[in-house]
Structure 1
Amino acid sequence: MRRLAPAAAAAALTALLLAGCSAGADHAGSMEPGVAEPAAPRDQGQTPTEGGEAGSAELDATEPDADRSVITTGWMSVTVDDPIASAEAASDIAEQAGGRIDNRSETPATGTQPASASLTMRVPADELKGVVNELRELGSVNSVSMNASDVTQQRQDLDARIEALTASVDRLQQLLGTATSIADLIAIESELTTRQAELDSLTQQRDWLVDQVDFSTLTLELVTEDVAPDPAPDDFWSGLVAGWSALLAFASWLGVAIGVLLPWLLTGLVIAAIVITVVVASTRRRRPRSVDDTTTVDAPAPTTTAATSETDAPRPPSSGGTPEL
């Protein structure tokens, strides 16, 4: 019986590894271990609206059903008198609904820019409609945008993989308690570590996905009348006024640009003049001397050879006689 125990443990370990590999192969085509596969949303839409009470019907369409997993994100812009105070009121509205504030930025009014505020709120999905309706009362709504992404298939795939890995880890833990040899113990512990790490990764992905489904993300922009979007010109006179205002703005910007560049241009001209002066002076110093400044040297007179003697000169023939012998 003692001899059969290691063989039985090895056979059980082999069967367990084959079962785990077959269970992982069923989901290998849809998602790699530790990486969440983005599922194609079956019902995804974006419903931008403008105005005070407009968009309530579109907002109802983004509410998730009980048997679906939907991630809802939204953006909202509201014109208020005091963005800082309105940001505090918006935070209270989100917290009273059971949500939280993930990001909040406030810009007080200065001499060059008006006040503004921005908040990123996480609101329970079933309380999103009520929160949006309360935020509308803070001021004049400029625009509202909602986006719903269906991740039901992705969540079901994660749940199935986590369930299979959990059962595999439990079986490995049972085999670890019955291992009788060091080799079996090392093999079981190695496989258990791998399966446990994959299980933890998938669990974190599932928890993040559940948090995105349970809490919708809403970004709120609070602005004043000075930075609220101006209406587009719709007739000749409004277009003329808009063009004139743009021309004045461009002329003002051009004057500022010239004022900034003028000191640099003057400095560049002074440096260029100095460089040109130095180059001209150096060129004049290197000019060659003229011909008048050079001294001429007289060439020595050629020497004459001594005159030949008269005896050496040939005699002319006499006229009418015979030459002497």
Structure 2
Amino acid sequence: MGLVVAAFAALALAGCGANNTSGSSADAPAVAPAPAQDNAQRGGGTPKQEQQSGTGEAQQAGTSAQQNRQLVRKATVELRAPDSDAVLSQVKDLVLAEGGYPAQERTQPNRASVTLMVPGDRLDRVMDSVSKLEGVEVGKRELQTEDVTEQIVDVEVRLANQRASVERVRGLLDRATTTAEITDIEAELTRRQSELESLQRRYETLKGQVALSTLTVVITATGEPVVVPEENEFLEAFAGGWNALLKAFGWLLVVLGGVLPFAVVLGLPTFGYLWWRRRRKAVAVASSSTP
């Protein structure tokens, strides 16, 4: 058991040290370049040449960093067209040709909308192509961009540390000698593997959002609205009243059907008794009136 406690303590210290190291590396300032004079003494270029070279390298590094940014992009385009269904079909064909696919679609009279997944590096081109469709008028274009570079880098570092942590626990499991040690180490290994899988899912989600941008296209028909004749209102009201009457009659039949069995069971004996009394009374009256 002492082996397990000591091993877990060593793992905890190693994990803290790794976190502190990565934090220190991220927070530490960049090392200043050597003075231009020293470079010149070692046979390098003049200070002016070194300054120009440094400026070019800085610009190149900035451009490279900009290109490597991990961006999650979501766009919305609202269109107006005479035939919303026809434009919807053209939009889907454009996206399929660019390697994307429709994820969700909804159609209504004179209106259609579709949510499309588009390769991130082709989103701008798809938006331009959609906006330039023949007979289409662009109502609104929106583009939202979220930089998730730091999130992805953070998850990558945590993934590497967690994989190393899992391997260390597996090494302890190989060296365990008692049942108690094996049980404790297996429980810890299960917990760390679960954390590793959670980080892996998070990483895949972020990379997927970067790889495929979301484009929502809403298409509204530009045709004149349909005017409902006034007589239709009367017909609709009449139809509504007739349906209400039929429903009421239906409920009445339901109630009657529920009461009828009781009426038969209780009504027949009651009717027979009343008939018998009336018959008996008539016989008595006839007998009393006979001389």
Give the TM-score, by structure 1 length.
Answer: 0.52
Alignment partner, residue 217 of structure 1 = 214
Residues 215, 183 of structure 1: CA spacing in aligned structure 2 closer, same or farther, 3 A cutoff? Answer: same
Residues 25, 227 of structure 1: CA spacing in aligned structure 2 closer, same or farther, 3 A cutoff? Answer: farther
Structure whose alpha-carbon radius of gyration is higher: 1
Q: In the alignment, is the contact (CA less than 8 A) between 1:74 and 1:147 conserved in 2?
A: yes
Report deviation, 1:24: 6.3
Report deviation, 1:65: 3.7
Does residue 129 in structure 1 map to residue 124 in structure 2?
Answer: yes
Q: In the alignment, is the contact (CA less than 8 A) between 1:124 and 1:216 conserved in 2?
A: yes
| Unaligned stretches of 5+ residues in structure 2 | 24-64, 242-291
Supply the distance in 2 between the matched residues of 1:172 and 1:124 (Cα, whole angstroms): 40
Q: In the alignment, is the contact (CA less than 8 A) between 1:27 and 1:161 conserved in 2?
A: no
Residues 152, 72 of structure 1: CA spacing in aligned structure 2 closer, same or farther, 3 A cutoff? Answer: same
Q: Map 1:50-129; keep pairs closer than 5 Å.
A: 65-107=66-108, 114=110, 116-129=111-124
Q: In the alignment, is the contact (CA less than 8 A) between 1:78 and 1:221 conserved in 2?
A: yes
Q: Across the two proteins, how many residue pairs are aligned to each other? A: 198
Supply the distance in 1 between the matched residues of 2:191 and 2:87 (Cα, whole angstroms): 51
Amino acid at match of 1:143: K
Supply the distance in 2 between the matched residues of 1:213 and 1:132 (Cα, whole angstroms): 17
Q: SS where residue 106 of structure 2 aligns?
A: strand
Structure 1 segments, 4+ long, off by >3 Å, are 6-14, 20-28
Residues 65, 125 of structure 1: CA spacing in aligned structure 2 closer, same or farther, 3 A cutoff? Answer: farther
2:200 to 180, 199, 203: 203
Q: In the alignment, is the contact (CA less than 8 A) between 1:118 and 1:221 conserved in 2?
A: yes
The one-character-per-residue Cα deviations of 1:116-151 (angstroms, maximum 9, x if unpaired) are: 110111111111111112111321211111111111
1:174 to 159, 171, 176: 171
Q: In the alignment, is the contact (CA less than 8 A) between 2:101 and 2:118 conserved in 1?
A: yes
Residues 179, 169 of structure 1: CA spacing in aligned structure 2 closer, same or farther, 3 A cutoff? Answer: same
Report deviation, 1:90: 1.1
Report deviation, 1:9: 6.5
Give the TM-score, by structure 2 length.
Answer: 0.57
Supply the distance in 1 between the matched residues of 2:209 and 2:224 (Cα, whole angstroms): 32
Q: SS where residue 203 of structure 1 aligns?
A: helix
Amino acid at match of 1:14: A
Report deviation, 1:10: 5.7
Residues 177, 227 of structure 1: CA spacing in aligned structure 2 closer, same or farther, 3 A cutoff? Answer: farther
Over the aligned positions, Cα root-mean-square deviation in angstroms equals 3.7
Q: SS where residue 120 of structure 1 aligns?
A: strand
Q: In the alignment, is the contact (CA less than 8 A) between 1:75 and 1:218 conserved in 2?
A: yes
Q: Give the fraction of aligned pairs with identical amino acids, expressed as a percent.
A: 31
Alignment partner, residue 147 of structure 2 = 150
The one-character-per-residue Cα deviations of 1:159-199 (angstroms, maximum 9, x if unpaired) are: 11111111101111122122211122112111111111111
Report deviation, 1:18: 3.3
